[in-house]
A and B are shown apart, each in its own frame.
Chain A
Amino acid sequence: MSDVMHNFELYQPDTVQGAADLLGEFDDAWVIAGAKDSLGWFKDRVKQPSVVVDIGGIEELSGIAATDDGGLYIGATTTLTDVIENPLVREKYPILALSASKVASPQIRNAGTIGGNISQDTRCVYYRSGFPCYRAEGNTCYANTPTAMNRDHALFEVSRCVAVTPSDTAPAMVALGASMVIRRKGEDIEVPASEYFIGPEIDITRMTVLEHGDILLGIRLPGTWANARHYFEKAADRNTWDFALVSITMVAKMAGSAIEDAAMVCGGVQCTPRRLTEVEDVIRGEVPGPEVETLVRRVASRGAQPLNFNHFKIPLMESLAARAVRSLT
């Protein structure tokens, strides 16, 4: 049998309340929707929850609607393909459609969900292979040793763990100022994207604020950056399927030829999407050109602490930031 997943009890509730009740009942319940991240864990037998709750069939969790403030609300289990093809998303937030279209492969985008893409676990090879590292509640990091293969790993804000965010759409969420709507203990709370993603300093075993029993209901995109200029570029070893080595996501508003305001976020260099506030400060009010680009290169990777094999991410990050600014000319 080539299918090597462990046995589990599968629940497919019809309502969010039903799913929340199941999560409250079973301590090791695991939530799946598109299951593109989860089935990998199960097949490698690194994670073996006895109960799996499939929320992919809950209708109220899927769909895209305009909100009163000129923004959008995207249900958590809306597939990436639906996000990419949705006319509202393409009109207001082309940056989101663009970044989602670079995720993995068409087949994965057809099944994978936007909520799953932003909340997926890190792709550190050591962690994924089942090594008992810090993130797996062990007491060492296998990726931060003199001989470790760590070209995919972090440049910034390392605290024991050096894993990075693998998501292509998470930086767009941070740049657009999205907030995540979460059902927690019967109440709906909203968490801004800047707080939704958490680093090892806060909790080394999680990538997001989602705790056991929480269900991500959807994503609220405010109208702030609707119809803004945008730039997205993902540098990866392969054009398909691969995760970003470094990705850059920018939205900007122009006043004439000058940059009135911009939000720039870098993926793949830190455990969370990294907001490049220094770059934003440099370019705000400036007319993009070679001088500004030079300044951007200077500040983009400031504070980076490379590991043995990921030095290349520093010039890559600087170049991507400069190219994003150049796109505004």
Chain B
Amino acid sequence: MDLTGPYDPTVDYPEGPAIAEIAGAGDIKPWRPLHVSRRNFLRGVVCSGIVIGGSSYLFSTATPARADARGVERMMSLTVNGRTHHVDVAPNETLGYTVRYRLGLTGTKIGCNQAECGACTVMADGQTIYSCSTLTHRMRGKDIITVEGIAAADGTLHPVQQAFIDELAPQCGFCTPGQVVAGVALLNSNPNPTEEEARVAMSGNLCRCGAYEHYLRGVMKAAREI
């Protein structure tokens, strides 16, 4: 290994005595600082970056402490599927996040997260809403039904759920929880919808597999059975 020639980036130079100490080096000026190899210097930079960045990530809280007592109280009661939960909810938290990650009701899916796809549809006081784009604090006092609250307590499926199975509506199934909730909400308010009414009521739920006709047939089938 030639330590006296021009710097070669492909060579992993050893740490070691300064060039001046190497026998025969003469008065050649060393091209690197003493005892700091390029590799170790980079290691140091990377590690210190991780330590600084990581500590600010790990040791900060997700939301700063409430500065103003007039703001919303983080602890709130949330009635989901007939059960009242006491949960700690951040001011910027959406209902979809709360039911999935604080209450563990992961049936509700978050698809687009911008009030477009409908996978996150839940009922609040009987009306369908996009839970991904609703602040949980707005749901105080509301009766929320997620897809987990649709089937009977003994596991018997709701006619809409059974009809979706019979009509082979779900393909990938990601939109199905939202479709179920939208279908049930429709039949709760209008037990005998026309096909056009059903189409409008289900129009806020996208299905990337394109099984719209299957879902529509499912809702109409359930309507006949109820």
* A→B interface (CB under 8 Å): 1-12, 22, 32, 35-36, 39-40, 42-43, 52, 54, 56-57, 81, 104-108, 110-111, 239-241
- Chain B residues in 8 Å Cβ range of A12: 72, 137-138
Asked if B200 and A10 sit within 8 Å, CB to CB, the answer is: no
Q: Could you write out 6 A-B pairs with CB less than 8 Å apart?
A: A2-B97, A3-B96, A36-B133, A42-B92, A106-B203, A107-B121
Most chain B CB within a 10 A radius of its CB, from A35, A107, A110: A107
A57-B138 contact, Cβ under 8 Å, with A106-B128, A106-B201: yes
B139 CB → nearest A CB, Å: 11
Please measure, in the bound complex, the distance between the C-alpha atom of A240 and the C-alpha atom of B68, giving whole angstroms.
Answer: 41
Asked if A105 and B72 sit within 8 Å, CB to CB, the answer is: no
Please measure, in the bound complex, the distance between the C-alpha atom of A240 and the C-alpha atom of B93, giving whole angstroms.
Answer: 27
Asked if A106 and B93 sit within 8 Å, CB to CB, the answer is: no
B34 CB → nearest A CB, Å: 47
A105-B203 contact, Cβ under 8 Å, with A3-B97, A10-B72, A81-B127: yes
The answer to whether the Cβ of B135 comes within 8 Å of any Cβ in the partner chain is yes
Asked if B70 and A36 sit within 8 Å, CB to CB, the answer is: no
Q: Which residue of B lies closest to A1 (CB)?
A: B97
Most chain A CB within a 10 A radius of its CB, from B62, B70, B110: B70
B192 CB → nearest A CB, Å: 17
Asked if A107 and B130 sit within 8 Å, CB to CB, the answer is: yes
B197 CB → nearest A CB, Å: 11
A148 CB → nearest B CB, Å: 23
A239-B92 contact, Cβ under 8 Å, with A10-B137, A107-B130, A111-B129: no
A137 CB → nearest B CB, Å: 24
- Chain B residues in 8 Å Cβ range of A54: 135, 137-138
A39-B133 contact, Cβ under 8 Å, with A10-B91, A110-B128: yes
Q: What's the A-B contact tally at a CB cutoff of 8 Å?
A: 101
Q: Please pick, from A7, A40, A43, A57, the residue contacting B63 in the complex, using a CB distance under 8 A.
A: A7
- Chain B residues in 8 Å Cβ range of A4: 113
A19 CB → nearest B CB, Å: 11
A100 CB → nearest B CB, Å: 13
- Chain B residues in 8 Å Cβ range of A6: 92
Please measure, in the bound complex, the distance between the C-alpha atom of A7 and the C-alpha atom of B200, giving whole angstroms.
Answer: 36
- Chain B residues in 8 Å Cβ range of A35: 133-135, 138
Q: Please pick, from B63, B64, B96, B118, the residue contacting A105 in the complex, using a CB distance under 8 A.
A: B118
- Chain A residues in 8 Å Cβ range of B137: 10, 12, 54
Asked if A11 and B70 sit within 8 Å, CB to CB, the answer is: yes
Asked if B138 and A56 sit within 8 Å, CB to CB, the answer is: yes
Asked if B68 and A9 sit within 8 Å, CB to CB, the answer is: yes
B116 CB → nearest A CB, Å: 6
Asked if B204 and A3 sit within 8 Å, CB to CB, the answer is: no
The answer to whether the Cβ of B115 comes within 8 Å of any Cβ in the partner chain is yes
